[in-house]
Amino acid sequence: MQTRNLGHNGPMVSTLGLGCMGMSAFYGRHDDAESITTIHYALDRGLTLLDTADMYGPHTNEVLVGKAIKGRREQAFIATKFGIVRDPDNPQARGVNGRPEYVRAACDASLQRLGIDTIDLYYQHRVDPGVPIEETVGAMAELVAAGKVRHLGLSEASGATLERACKVHPIAALQSEFSLWTRDPQTNGMLAACRKLGVSLVAYSPLGRGFLTGAIRSPDDFEADDYRRGSPRFMGDNFTRNLQLVEQVKTLAADKGCSPAQLALAWVLAQGRDVLAIPGTRKRSRLDENLGALDVQLSAAELKTIDAAFPPDAAAGDRYATSMMHMVNV
């Protein structure tokens, strides 16, 4: 398994991790037994980085990951997140909480659900604009001192926030959406800040929430409660226009002799050795396909062609609904 450092001189983790979110939330029906088999298979193949969060489910995804790593703790590098607070009465609503007492309670709850003594990488899922980042990261640093957490991360934090956070405690990773149709980290200063500060960029939704694989042809492919039905890029005219982008991925992939999913992942990984990706899948066959991206090397000329086909504003529609866009790049 190919590995990359997390942060400058940080721990080595598998270059491709496994996003576990869809095993419990947002993307339709799930089957815990199949998901656990997939996680076991990932560990068998040498993939170490497993990505979850307390808000996936909520809570059930951490329990699932905890079950899957029972007896195999040393093979896994567990990344989880706190800070997005869900309203049980309104599944669409999202709050953020970065207060120190919340950070401490959230960590204890995650440790318990995961059934582990130490979280390898603990992310603040979204920056809380009402709490200075120094206070939140200060509380996270105390968790490191207490042995409850090994490394710290932020998700969707701006470059300026990352810089302030790094003054309190080293940050190993910044997680952000990053893919052929979401190139924000390259245009909003996030990737540049990561490079300046020695922080790895962990790309989430690197397959465009499945869209870039070509497997989704119509909004009717989604189950009734699938989160993507309410996500701007998957709605109405945007969906139709974005299908044209998928056609380009397919053509580029055919030219390269790989699958669209592999091309999308290879592009992310080609952005630098300080970039990792955590594609999500519930299925072993797709995990195999995605891991095949590690063998796809894109030349400078191929990257230029892909960049030209996917300028930063290529996608139709925002990557989140308006109510959630204000929570990114904070």
Ligand X SMILES: NC(=O)c1ccc[n+]([C@@H]2O[C@H](COP(=O)([O-])OP(=O)(O)OC[C@H]3O[C@@H](n4cnc5c(N)ncnc54)[C@H](OP(=O)(O)O)[C@@H]3O)[C@@H](O)[C@H]2O)c1
The count of other CB atoms within 10 Å of the CB of residue 282 is 21
* Site for ligand X contains 194 (CB under 6 A): no
- Dihedral angle of Cα 327, 320, 61, 161, to the nearest 10 degrees: -30
Q: Which element (helix H / strand E) includes 246?
A: helix 236-256
The count of other CB atoms within 10 Å of the CB of residue 9 is 9
Q: Are 137 and 169 in contact (CB under 8 A)?
A: yes
* Site for ligand X contains 83 (CB under 6 A): no
Which residue, 290 or 329, is less far from ligand X as judged by CB?
290
* Site for ligand X contains 185 (CB under 6 A): no
* Site for ligand X contains 169 (CB under 6 A): no
Q: Which residue has the tokens 């955590």?
A: 278
Q: What is the largest CA-CA distance in the chain?
A: 53
Q: Binder to ligand X among 290, 293, 306, 329 (CB under 6 A)?
A: 290
* Site for ligand X contains 65 (CB under 6 A): no
Strand locations in the chain, DSSP E? 3-5, 12-14, 18-19, 49-51, 77-82, 84-87, 90-96, 119-124, 149-155, 173-177, 200-204, 275-277
What token pair was written down for 53? 């969060």
Site for ligand X in 138-157 (CB under 6 A): 155-156
Count of positions on this chain that bind ligand X (CB under 6 A): 29
* Site for ligand X contains 208 (CB under 6 A): yes
Half-sphere exposure of 27 (CA within 13 A, CB side): 19
* Site for ligand X contains 210 (CB under 6 A): yes
* Site for ligand X contains 110 (CB under 6 A): no
Q: Binder to ligand X among 279, 291, 302, 315 (CB under 6 A)?
A: 279
Min. distance of Cβ 246 from ligand X in angstroms?
11
Which residue, 38 or 145, is less far from ligand X as judged by CB?
38
DSSP letters spanning 87-146: ETTEEEEEEE---HHHHHHHHHHHHHHHT-S-EEEEEESS--TTS-HHHHHHHHHHHHHT
Which residue, 137 or 207, is less far from ligand X as judged by CB?
207
* Site for ligand X contains 57 (CB under 6 A): no
* Site for ligand X contains 215 (CB under 6 A): yes
* Site for ligand X contains 231 (CB under 6 A): no
Q: Report the C-alpha gap between 55 and 136 in whole angstroms.
A: 18
* Site for ligand X contains 233 (CB under 6 A): no
* Site for ligand X contains 242 (CB under 6 A): no
Which residue, 148 or 282, is less far from ligand X as judged by CB?
282
Min. distance of Cβ 173 from ligand X in angstroms?
11
Min. distance of Cβ 151 from ligand X in angstroms?
16
Active-site amino acid positions: 56
* Site for ligand X contains 64 (CB under 6 A): no
Give the contacts of 225 (CB within 8 A, at least 6 positions apart). 28
Q: Which element (helix H / strand E) includes 287?
A: helix 284-291
* Site for ligand X contains 280 (CB under 6 A): yes
Q: Report the C-alpha gap between 52 and 125 in whole angstroms.
A: 11
Show the binding pattern over residues 5-34: x = contacts ligand X (CB under 6 A), - = does not.
--------------xxxx----x-------
Q: Binder to ligand X among 278, 296, 298, 316 (CB under 6 A)?
A: 278
Binding site for ligand X (CB under 6 A): 19-22, 27, 51, 125, 155-156, 175, 204-210, 213, 215, 261, 278-283, 286, 289-290
